[in-house]
Amino acid sequence: MEVMFGRRFFSLLFVVWLMVPGFSAADGTPYPPDIEKIMQEKILRVAMYHDDSPPFYFNNAQGQMDGIDVCLIWGLAKRMGVEVEFNREGKSFEEVIDRLTRHQADVAIAKLSKTFFRSMRVRFSVPYLHLHQALLVNRLTLIRQHGSEELSDDFSGRLAVLAGSSYVEKANSRFNRADIVAMDDWNEMVAAVIDGSVAAIFRDEVMIGQVLRERPQTGLSLKKVILPEANDSIVVVLPWDSGQLLETVNFYLQSLNLDINGDKILKDPDGVLKMVREKTKCP
C-alpha cells in the first residue's frame, strides 16, 4: 500500500514538472513574463529622479547620463543583452515609485531607500550601498530653541525633509515631536537651514556631507549629525510582480561584490565611481 502511494505521488510530481516548462514552451518563450517582456522589447525601462545627484546620477560634461546608479543599470542591461531607456520625469521619489506601480518602468534606481510603506507596493533588491541617515543642523537656531548644540530624539523644532522622499516617513517615525516641513527642492532646504528658518534638514549622509564640502564656510554655522544606528539601505526597486527580474538583479548586484558606503563616497567620489565603472564595464 505504501509502495503504491509513493509511486502515485512521484508520478504526479513528474507530470507537474513536465507541465511547468510546458506553459512557456507553448508560448515559444523560454522566460517568465517579466523578463520575457524586456527581452522582446530589447529595452530595460528605468525610472529615475528628475534632479541630478552626483556621483549617483547626473548629466556629465558631454550631456550623457553618468554616475554609480547609471553604471549599475547599464551593466545589468548589457548582461541581459538589451538597451537602457532612462526616464527622468519623476519630480519626487514617490513619483519614481509610482511609475513602477503603474508598470511604466521595469526598474527604478535613484539612491532609493527601503521604507515600510514602499514595501507594501513594490519589491526591493539586495542593497548595493549602505548609507546612514544624517541631519544638517543650524547651531545657533538649535541652541536658541533647545539650549544646547546636541540634537536629541525629542527635538521639537522645525525639521525640513524633501517632499515625496523616504525621509518624510523616517522623520515622522523618529522625530515625532518635531515640526516636520516637507520642501520640494533640496537647494531650498539648504538655504532654509543656513538662514535658520528651519533648525535642521534630514537626509542621507552623502547629501548632508556634500553641503559642507561644497560650502565649507557653512561649517561655522552648520553641523553634521550622523545617526550611527539609523542605516539607510539603498536598493533597486521593482514592480510587485517582477519576481524573476528581482532574482536577476540580486544575482547581478551580488556578483559585482561592491563594497561602498557613504564615508567612501564622501572621501573619494571619483574613486568610487571609477571602481563601479570598472566592475560594470560601463563606458
Partner 1 sequence: MLYWMTHPLVVFSGIGLGVFIGMHDPALGLILAPFGDIYLALLEMCVVPILMAAIISGLGRLLGPKAPKIHLYRLLFFFPLGLALASAIGIGTGLWMQPGQDIKSLDRSVLGRLVTQGEESRGDTEKASGGHLVQVLKDMVPRNVVAAMSRGPNLSILMFSILFGAALGLSRTTGAEAVLLFMEGLYQVFLKLIFWVLYGLPFGLMGLYAGQFSRSDPQIFFVLKDFIAACALGTGLLLTLYLGIVRSVSGVSLAFILKSLRKTLMLAMTSSAFATIPTALRAMQEKLHIPADGSGLVYPLGINLNRHGSVFQFALASVFMAQLYGLPLDGERLVVIWVGSMIAGMAALSGLPGMGLLAVVLGFLGLPSNVAIILMTTIDGFIVPMVVLVTVVANFTLTVLVCKDSTSDSQPQPSPVP
Residues that bind partner 1 (CB under 8 A): 139-140, 143-144, 147-150, 212, 215-221, 223-226, 228
Burial class (CB in 10 A: 0-12, 13-18, 19+), 126: middle
Please give the C-alpha separations between residue 218 and each of 27, 138, 186, in angstroms, as whole numbers: 62, 9, 16
The CA-based angle 137-141-145, given to 5 degrees, is 110
- Nearest distance, CB of residue 149 and partner 1, angstroms: 5
Judged by beta carbon, residue 121 or residue 224, the one nearer partner 1 is 224
Alpha-carbon span 64 to 188, nearest angstrom: 26
CB of 42 to partner 1, least distance (A): 47
Phi, psi of 102 (to 5 degrees): -90, 10
| Distance in Å, CB of 113 to partner 1, minimum | 21
Q: Which is nearer to partner 1, 7 or 213 (CB)?
A: 213
> 163 vs 212, which CB is nearer to partner 1?
212
Given the complex with partner 1, which of 80 and 143 has the nearer CB atom?
143
Nearer to partner 1, 18 or 220 (CB): 220
What are the CA-CA distances from residue 39 to residues 84, 133, 174 (Å)?
A: 12, 37, 43
Contact 155, 178 (CB under 8 A): yes
Minimum CB separation of residue 269 from partner 1 in Å reads 16
For partner 1, which is the closer residue by CB, 221 or 261?
221
Closer to partner 1 by Cβ: residue 62 or 148: 148
Q: How far is the CB of 208 from partner 1 (least distance, A)?
A: 11
- CB of residue 230 vs partner 1: minimum separation in angstroms? 12
Output the smallest distance, CB 225 to partner 1, in A.
5
Structural contact between residues 66 and 60, judged by C-beta atoms closer than 8 angstroms: yes
- End-to-end alpha-carbon separation of the chain, Å? 66
Say if residue 55 is preceded by a cis peptide, omega within 30 of 0: yes
Return d(Cα 65, Cα 61) in angstroms, integer: 10
